[in-house]
Amino acid sequence: MSKVLVIGAGGVGSVAVHKMAMNPDIFSDITLASRRVAKCDAVAESVKARTGVVISTAQVDADNVEETAALIAKVKPKLVVNLALPYQDLSIMDACLKTGVHYMDTANYEPRDEAKFEYGWQWAYQDRFKEAGLMALLGSGFDPGVTSVFATYIKKHLLDSIDTLDILDCNGGDHGQHFATNFNPEINIREVTAPSRHWADGEWVEGPALSHKQPFLFDQVGEKNMYLMYHEELESLAKFMPEIKRIRFWMTFGDAYLKHLEVLQNVGMTRIDPVMYEGREIIPLQFLKAVLPEPASLGVTTKGKTNIGDIATGMKDGKQKTVYVYNVCDHEDAYAETGNQAVSYTTGVPAMIGAAMVLTGAWSGAGVFNIEQFDPDPFMDMLNKHGLPWQLKELDAPLDF
């Protein structure tokens, strides 16, 4: 029976809290906090209606360490689950250290003024968490998160050694809008417009953003074009699974999405440096976010499925073998269950599971940890039980691209 404080009441926070409420044996007492308490209250109302569970809500500015620490001291949770913006990871980690509480998140820290996806800032907290006897679990969403659990599962059960690992992220959903991003547009556009990068023979190989295009036939979705991208789990996979020679990440984008993105970049609307407007600094990308549809508002109209998984090639009993572990999630089913579409659902469920790992002690330790450092089995079990069942296929041959 454990108390948890969730910070962040967007789509992912909403899904995580709904799923926690469905597991009262693990999450006995839930508080949801965010900058705008009205958003928390709306989630609480939905949780009550769908599960009968009453959760607490609170207002907090997670940029402010003192204010966040004061809330933690008041709520006295065993674990803080950070589902706010990645800009706020460090201030929430600081607040956890101040108050002696475990920490968990789904996306690595990123400064507001630079699109730089690196674990370095958070890994620098290693000694402080270790000395405090506290655990910080980083990146427990789907990607990063489940994709690394799949990799460690493959290593533990399916292959004796892994040579190449490809992560394939396909969103086959259609939201019926001209242009919208799947999650926070600001973070999404930063990620997509960054140079591509993959790991090969102990080195990072960089290329222009969205320059390597590859069609792929996704189970239950169909053929989609996917693009080589940088994604944050590449860094932790390269660090904790150094035997893998090549690690790549692919994400699907439709032609219309890319056309819109190209134009928005061309005209300067994706800039993250401020421009002067009527005597005030405004960051174009943040203003664009205000004009675009709120991702949460798309759930009700989104149809189709996501398909995210890992393809690994390596040796098994002296022979080359290629395996594919993936999950297919239906947008409409996800919306029916939690009021949020699959992109939020596939991140929010693993956030709940990661929190369960910490609270139940299935995963434990003092320090800052990535997903790849733990036994995948209890996590894989919970995926099957809590809405993200995974499938396993053996492929005839390695990927030919």
- State the nearest-atom distance from the C-beta of 186 to a copy of itself, in Å: 13
- State the nearest-atom distance from the C-beta of 113 to a copy of itself, in Å: 17
Distance of alpha carbon 139 from alpha carbon 163, whole angstroms: 24
Tokens of 126: 């290693």
Residue 37 vs 158, nearer CB to a copy of itself: 37
Distance of alpha carbon 384 from alpha carbon 164, whole angstroms: 26
Distance of alpha carbon 130 from alpha carbon 107, whole angstroms: 21
- State the nearest-atom distance from the C-beta of 260 to a copy of itself, in Å: 5
Return the closest-CA partner of residue 335 out of 300, 305, 306. Answer: 300
For 109, list phi and psi in degrees, rounded to 5.
-60, 145
Contact between residue 36 and residue 44 where contact means Cβ atoms under 8 Å apart: no
3-class secondary-structure state, position 8: coil
- State the nearest-atom distance from the C-beta of 49 to a copy of itself, in Å: 29
Residue 100 vs 176, nearer CB to a copy of itself: 176
CB atoms within 10 A of CB 118: 14
- State the nearest-atom distance from the C-beta of 258 to a copy of itself, in Å: 11
User: For binding to a copy of itself (CB under 8 A), which residues are involved?
Assistant: 178-179, 259-260, 263-264, 266-269, 271, 275-277, 282, 284, 287-288, 290-292
Residue 243 vs 255, nearer CB to a copy of itself: 255
Peptide bond preceding 144: is omega within 30 degrees of 0, i.e. cis?
Answer: yes
Residue 244 vs 264, nearer CB to a copy of itself: 264
Distance of alpha carbon 184 from alpha carbon 186, whole angstroms: 5
Residue 293 vs 398, nearer CB to a copy of itself: 293
Segment holding 333, helix H or strand E? helix 331-338
Residue 38 vs 275, nearer CB to a copy of itself: 275
Residue spans of alpha helices (H) in 80-221: 89-99, 120-123, 126-132, 146-153, 185-192
Residue 49 vs 290, nearer CB to a copy of itself: 290
Residue 201 vs 266, nearer CB to a copy of itself: 266
How far are the Cα atoms of 103, 341, 389 from residue 299, in angstroms, in the given order?
Answer: 29, 5, 21
Q: Cβ contacts of residue 259 below 8 Å, gap of 6+? A: none
Calculate Rg over the CA atoms of the chain.
20
- State the nearest-atom distance from the C-beta of 291 to a copy of itself, in Å: 4
3-class secondary-structure state, position 295: helix
- State the nearest-atom distance from the C-beta of 124 to a copy of itself, in Å: 31
- State the nearest-atom distance from the C-beta of 58 to a copy of itself, in Å: 22
